[in-house]
Structure 1
């Protein structure tokens, strides 16, 4: 297979053609739909050709994991697109094996050309094609016919190289007078044939009468817009075409300018060799040296006396070198929050937004661009960093309170230091740019790397090579939600502000590249990984704050197979009630083509049974105003059929769904999606995709969820026991540990058995119920962690390195099969068909077995830990306070009038409980409450203090019962509350090796409650 250069470059525009003759037919697709009476081909078999009209970019596909920009800006409107590569995608080898091609044509409605003595077809287009196992007669054909049966066709690739982007639209002009002049019915056809990928964009179709004298430049033949290997001996070649109705039989010239300077004037001797109507001819210029700069602006002009269409006489195009290495500093100046530098024609900026956040930009030609706009970085305000900029003969230095950036001059090399002078990173080679932009850093043996989004099966990336692109399926090694962000254990993070794909090589090469001809990177300086996550989410947005019900179990399937959506009530919802099973929400239409009926009444009936209703979508959220505002749905699951293109396309989809819910209700947005990118964490649960339930599925999901959290993907998960396969045991084991993650869902309809938690019968039903009930009781603990993520970017599910960064055991893969939920719980899922668990590492401190009360010293590894099927290895760190609500099967089933505090004493312990109304967006206005709780030893006693609540919110109780569960091995002599002796307490030395239970009674939440245990 040929090596495909994945490239993206913003280039100078071309003057669009506007002939003197006004068009008598025009189609610009401004309606946003396929025009009336246009027909799309029908092909026998499974392939359904799809020409679409859109204003979105081409979404990306196999071997081209990036988005090609639309032919015209969104402000200009829609265009017509054929996206073959999106449909063949990673299955392309099967297409080839079966000798199938994604062929498809679209035919216009008949056009009346009566009375037109000559006819010229004009249109703009861009395309990218793949010369990999092409079919016979492969090409991009434009045809004309008067009977819709017999066609005259032209392959309009016109010598364009395969596998390269054409970012400047080309205007085609074809004189079709021979076939169309004076014809009452003329059909136009656009036909993709015999090519497996990638796309063809067409816009601004016109028919005009031909001018008599009209020669235009067609395109540059010698070079692509990007990816060129420019040398000292280059020849420029362009094609020209006679678009007029008459033969040109006189001399004329074509001038070539390079970077504004005239290079050569070529004479075309059409007197000796006439240029016939419709004829295309190549013009070749002399040899030129193009090795001295990273890119060049080429300007070609035709000088023909009497040319009636001067607008098509000029072609302006920028070409760039495949790779240019940044040279020495030639000039620099101070800016208000940084500096700007120059190396030849290349310019760079260093901009500080805060003392610990700065940005490095590079523009090859000095014209800075930001294709990502404000989609990834949503906050780039300058917070008055305190900068000291100095210079010596060798370097420039920019110092802030957080660190210092050193910029070597010859050549330009960057190095970053923290405030103590420790090197955080240093470039090994200067930045290189062209087809891709690469930063190569010096490798440190003791350095570890994290982040990069959801990389299935991985969280610690030292000595690995990661692709920052969607794809590779859904299993171990898949990339369902990649992110161009990473963190280093040395104390820094980096975000490449781009939607273009990349490769992060964390081996001793330490090379970080993206396929774009610009460099745009934000750097974060932090004393901890938590600090870096805080900086990263400060500019990209914090993780979304879910409602309480959104943390409960979700259920999905196509329950509308018989066309009666209300069936979900008796088939599923009533079964949850019958089985006394905790629940939160249902997707009744999760399946291709499933649809829904009587949605409004279904929503009402499901709510009576404790369910919110959501909808699965395969093609957009255009009906969301009605579905949310009128029918009452409250969540969206976005299928790969819609957001599968990934990158900006998927980010926009998540945003549209999230904001659609919030604009049409007072609820918080709730979206499940795949193919996310940096910024998707603001809107969506990150979901790992469709897999098969087995022990391997459980194994690789543990580091997957840890790793997602290290990119601020706080709500990350996969279906319980996957959607395919599965078994009684794997269902139980998978559900157990996922009850200690923020969100979870089960999906039926794809395996032999459905996936509800009672399907396998006893004892499995009871085990599943027990863990789901525990998850419901732990709601206030989890909800407080959700607020922490919303405020700081620090995830609820944490790799041990987040809390114990100085413990070398936590940095690599030794702890990849366990995690912390907040600071208190350590969860070690069983991922083998065994009744024991090996390799449980307990970090610093003392840890108590949640089930039997055994206390273990930290900094040891437990092997052969007894873990029968009903037991998840679960530990609590001594010095923890765990809040719990009353047992209930769905949110708001019962009032939250009793707060249980599960206390594990160890010196002085502090905990702050966060609460709000649990469902509205009022918390964003500061309408919430916190309660500070302490447990501490004091002279022969233990004192628990529940401080008066701070803040308020709608529905907050004025009074609340407090119940204390204190793990201790000594029965107290007496207990007082606010100085008064109480009798309502019990101590049992046989429960968890000692448990004191205190019923404190009902108290005003605005009063301090002090419990003294002697």
Structure 2
């Protein structure tokens, strides 16, 4: 046993006794503690260590203990050996070693240990710590919406809500993680935690919470779906969204927003009628005021906004008109609700205080997730399908609340950040999550807006959050071209409503909606890492690879590198063009015009476009189950339809089984339409309904097929009609239409012979002796950074490069820059020439190691103090949290007579290299403009630091954003977007004091200050 008398920490002592009680096992320890161990169900266990001996079983509202019976516990058995206590629960052995006390779980079915503690639990007056054995190829997920991350191996995450919506922020706090080894833990606590998944020690995972009671549920599952399903058994299944929430939404403030006249040339001007206006807070220049119903100026009203969306062919499905405003006339809100309903728009209501809703309110939105459950109950009084949403939350809210958040728009990084964040939310048990298009603040970049709108059209919730900054966030805020592209993607999303609704229904069984690649392709190790974290699967059929930067070719088309399509046995089809790609490759130098989002259909996919309109992309053998209901509170009418497709050589068989479920009152006589992608007309087609062959007439034209009750049509101009203005529709599809049949009793079977659909795409290259074997490429050591390196070869040619066993395609010329790499990582590389379908022999293998990231040298755990009061929403801790998404602000300005003093104290004396001051993001009101720096080696006495020479750029990771300048005792900084870099080569310091004598606005603000230690 290890004791720490200074911090009152100690390890749980040796196991001294155990007994089987009424519904738990009681364990006794040499250090005086007692624990309860529960067997709740097959693969769900609980260990509760309460130093106060209270043993309150229901400690938080998150866990549904009523869902469990005593059966699993009663069937469990226990036996003791010379050195351990073993509880047998089904096929699991829970092994408690006595000296020291550590727990492990052995799975007899798999003949391996699922999880094991590395050392005894550590208990303290204000927290607990559990250390777990970490395996080399074990990956970790969960922790809530950790914006920017979903795979946590080698990282430390904080499980605490911080309201930061950018990279590193945690707006959904979920004390639940799970491992690819097949186990997970749910910590039953409201307190914050820190989870170290091998950053400090790659052989251990350490789970800490600021809760003196250790209360952990252990979940065992054979795959991610089982893990999430058991998490839902504990905390509740995800709710089923009302279908209107799958449409386009608008959130705005039509209560206090003010408008002033402007001109078209202003980037943030919005057009109303023939005039332009901008938002303002200056009441002296106001010419228009927002309102719900046009009480002031109709054009600025919420009603007018609904009209504007409709007139521009971007019909809204839902609308929240009072975001951020509690004081709203319930009568006015009720009048607006009536108008919205008449326009086919479901009205919502934002509040964090009121317990009274306007009449006809369809749903609510709150910033206070704690009230979401209360709001749901409030709605149940008048709404058959109650729905609540929140901008933040905790574990368990998936059963009654969706997560909607905003953030700062207008930057490319947020796209990749939010993709990874939404994947992480799904893997943490909250599949109903969405981010506002182009954020809530910032913005003004049309290219970023349209690219953001595109990929978010493939997420569960699509909405704009307006009136929070200077730029409008509507999909028609830019030019006609951008508006039309947004129209097309909204129409496509409408086609996918049934697909999204089915994914929502299947989420109840543990299937995420937005998925990492490893869920569909679990055998590829790279899919578990962060390497391709800006790609995701929507369900099992669609792979979306958003445009995440502004790189363009000479024609203004977006350039896309590092696009990975998994699995060499899978064919991928571009959803828009129909172009086929072989899987198992990383594609580079792809170009996409502004209308074209990289979206790929997985070979074998089956889609339901609603009303039994099915689309097939045949490959191999696949099946899907679609879900439909009447959208009532209890889903009293709901049914599922199983559809399967099997392509065996040139024979395609499609089967649509009878619908199953609770169907009384449902419309059971329905038509069926199939669109089957193919290469050519197959000629031999047989259609049977309940084994009775149906003769179908071939239609010669699309119009004839459209008006026929039944028939077959070979469509050589198939495609998405929404995008016909951007490209010729030239895909080929065999289309079949069947007259109404009873979907509950009729089985449809379709057999097609002589069927082909691009099987040649998966034909592999042929090694040719006519192509020379490449020599080893040259690597310029000066061009190796933390995230990239350049390869160069002598012969101008098309080449393939294999990097860490991944094949990189689409490379030609004499050089290629590999980017988006992991810092401080060794890459094993080889190269071969390509000519048509012929390839050369591979070159010899060689290696390149990327440099450590600059963040690896940033000092953590800095204590910051200030003589100014900080804004409570932007605390001083944000200045040193190493997150560029957060922002610190004071509540007053710095002046020469009243300077700001910031003192930064390190845990130990550090040898520094530089300081990097990162200014705020939205504007530059509050940037320090006149500062000085003092150094202390003991944390008590400070010496002013003089800057006598220009500091050289120290590493390749430094960018042009860092403005190096020659300094003296006082530093003059410009109020601009450039990072301010202060060279401190070889300076020894225990603390640094930064004094700000002048700032550019009424406050002082910054995103971050980094202190970098010298490189070893």
Alignment of 1:418-429 (within 5 A): 418-419=107-108, 420-429=110-119
Match of 1:638 in 2: 366
Report how far residue 453 of structure 1 moved: 0.4
Match of 2:749 in 1: 1010
Match of 2:734 in 1: 996
Alignment of 1:546-557 (within 5 A): 546-557=241-252
Match of 2:951 in 1: none
CA distance in 1, matches of 2:241, 2:163: 30
Residues 1:541 and 2:280 aligned together:
no
CA distance in 2, matches of 1:759, 1:689: 17
Normalised to the residue count of structure 1, the TM-score between the two structures is: 0.63
CA distance in 2, matches of 1:954, 1:604: 32
CA distance in 2, matches of 1:714, 1:462: 22
- Runs of at least 5 residues in structure 2 that lack an aligned partner in the other structure: 257-288, 295-300, 552-557, 699-710, 719-729, 754-1016
Pick from 123, 130, 137 the counterpart of residue 433 of structure 1.
123
CA distance in 1, matches of 2:408, 2:649: 57
Report how far residue 378 of structure 1 moved: 4.9
Match of 2:823 in 1: none
Distance 1:499 1:862, change over 3 A: same
Pick from 366, 369, 382 the counterpart of residue 69 of structure 2.
382
The answer to whether the 8 Å contact 2:291/2:302 transfers is no
The answer to whether the 8 Å contact 1:965/1:997 transfers is yes
State the Cα deviation string for residues 62-89 of structure 1 (Å, max 9, x = none): xxxxxxxxxxxxxxxxxxxxxxxxxxxx
Residues 1:453 and 2:144 aligned together:
yes
CA distance in 1, matches of 2:597, 2:495: 17
CA distance in 1, matches of 2:675, 2:685: 14
> 2:239 is paired with a residue of what secondary structure?
coil
> 1:735 is paired with a residue of what secondary structure?
helix
Residues 1:929 and 2:639 aligned together:
yes
Report how far residue 900 of structure 1 moved: 1.4
Report how far residue 350 of structure 1 moved: 1.4
Match of 1:77 in 2: none
Distance 1:1004 1:821, change over 3 A: same
Report how far residue 576 of structure 1 moved: 1.6
CA distance in 2, matches of 1:823, 1:349: 41
Pick from 818, 828, 840 the counterpart of residue 563 of structure 2.
840
Residues 1:882 and 2:607 aligned together:
yes
Match of 1:178 in 2: none
CA distance in 1, matches of 2:324, 2:61: 34
Match of 1:493 in 2: 184
The answer to whether the 8 Å contact 1:878/1:905 transfers is yes
Match of 1:753 in 2: 471
Match of 2:227 in 1: 532
The answer to whether the 8 Å contact 2:33/2:50 transfers is yes
Pick from 35, 43, 66 the counterpart of residue 348 of structure 1.
35
Residues 1:860 and 2:594 aligned together:
no
Distance 1:680 1:511, change over 3 A: same
871-880 or 562-571, larger mean C-alpha shift: 562-571
Report how far residue 390 of structure 1 moved: 1.5
> 1:802 is paired with a residue of what secondary structure?
helix
Pick from 501, 505, 508 the counterpart of residue 196 of structure 2.
505
Pick from 55, 79, 90 the counterpart of residue 368 of structure 1.
55
State the Cα deviation string for residues 326-383 of structure 1 (Å, max 9, x = none): 1111221123555211114310121111120000111224332357334344545136
CA distance in 2, matches of 1:383, 1:739: 45
CA distance in 2, matches of 1:909, 1:510: 38
> 1:707 is paired with a residue of what secondary structure?
helix
Residues 1:813 and 2:530 aligned together:
yes
Alignment of 1:459-608 (within 5 A): 459-471=150-162, 473-507=164-198, 508=201, 509-561=204-256, 562=289, 564-567=291-294, 568=301, 570-593=303-326, 595-596=328-329, 597-608=331-342
Pick from 616, 622, 640 the counterpart of residue 909 of structure 1.
622
Q: Based on CA coordinates, which of the two structures has the bigger radius of gyration?
A: 1
Report how far residue 908 of structure 1 moved: 3.1
CA distance in 1, matches of 2:353, 2:63: 21
Pick from 748, 765, 769 the counterpart of residue 483 of structure 2.
765
The answer to whether the 8 Å contact 1:879/1:905 transfers is yes
The answer to whether the 8 Å contact 1:480/1:687 transfers is no
> 1:592 is paired with a residue of what secondary structure?
coil
The answer to whether the 8 Å contact 1:353/1:380 transfers is no
The answer to whether the 8 Å contact 1:847/1:878 transfers is yes
The answer to whether the 8 Å contact 1:703/1:817 transfers is yes
Residues 1:697 and 2:414 aligned together:
yes
> 2:679 is paired with a residue of what secondary structure?
coil
The answer to whether the 8 Å contact 1:483/1:678 transfers is yes
> 2:254 is paired with a residue of what secondary structure?
coil
Distance 1:570 1:511, change over 3 A: closer
Pick from 657, 663, 666 the counterpart of residue 384 of structure 2.
666
Residues 1:743 and 2:461 aligned together:
yes
Distance 1:465 1:405, change over 3 A: same
Alignment of 1:943-958 (within 5 A): 943-953=653-663, 956-958=666-668
The answer to whether the 8 Å contact 1:942/1:1013 transfers is yes
CA distance in 2, matches of 1:427, 1:946: 49
Report how far residue 442 of structure 1 moved: 2.1
600-609 or 700-709, larger mean C-alpha shift: 600-609
Report how far residue 807 of structure 1 moved: 1.2
> 1:661 is paired with a residue of what secondary structure?
helix
The answer to whether the 8 Å contact 1:975/1:981 transfers is no
The answer to whether the 8 Å contact 2:292/2:303 transfers is no
> 2:189 is paired with a residue of what secondary structure?
coil
Number of aligned residues: 665
Match of 2:594 in 1: 869
781-790 or 832-841, larger mean C-alpha shift: 832-841
The answer to whether the 8 Å contact 1:969/1:989 transfers is no
The answer to whether the 8 Å contact 2:620/2:648 transfers is no
The answer to whether the 8 Å contact 2:255/2:322 transfers is yes
CA distance in 2, matches of 1:728, 1:563: 25
The answer to whether the 8 Å contact 1:432/1:439 transfers is yes
The answer to whether the 8 Å contact 1:963/1:999 transfers is yes
Distance 1:675 1:601, change over 3 A: closer
Normalised to the residue count of structure 2, the TM-score between the two structures is: 0.63
The answer to whether the 8 Å contact 1:379/1:540 transfers is no
Distance 1:922 1:1010, change over 3 A: same
Report how far residue 993 of structure 1 moved: 4.3
The answer to whether the 8 Å contact 1:977/1:1000 transfers is no
> 1:598 is paired with a residue of what secondary structure?
helix
Distance 1:426 1:829, change over 3 A: same
> 1:902 is paired with a residue of what secondary structure?
strand
Report how far residue 563 of structure 1 moved: 7.2
> 1:767 is paired with a residue of what secondary structure?
helix
Distance 1:538 1:595, change over 3 A: same
CA distance in 1, matches of 2:235, 2:622: 33
Residues 1:986 and 2:713 aligned together:
yes
713-722 or 854-863, larger mean C-alpha shift: 854-863
The answer to whether the 8 Å contact 2:143/2:175 transfers is yes
The answer to whether the 8 Å contact 1:553/1:745 transfers is yes
> 2:45 is paired with a residue of what secondary structure?
strand
CA distance in 1, matches of 2:648, 2:391: 52
The answer to whether the 8 Å contact 1:671/1:684 transfers is yes
CA distance in 1, matches of 2:548, 2:11: 48
State the Cα deviation string for residues 268-318 of structure 1 (Å, max 9, x = none): xxxxxxxxxxxxxxxxxxxxxxxxxxxxxxxxxxxxxxxxxxxxxxxxxxx
CA distance in 2, matches of 1:714, 1:445: 29
- Runs of at least 5 residues in structure 1 that lack an aligned partner in the other structure: 1-227, 232-320, 644-649, 886-897
CA distance in 2, matches of 1:337, 1:836: 61
Match of 2:261 in 1: none
CA distance in 2, matches of 1:839, 1:555: 34
Alignment of 1:276-315 (within 5 A): none
Report how far residue 416 of structure 1 moved: 1.8
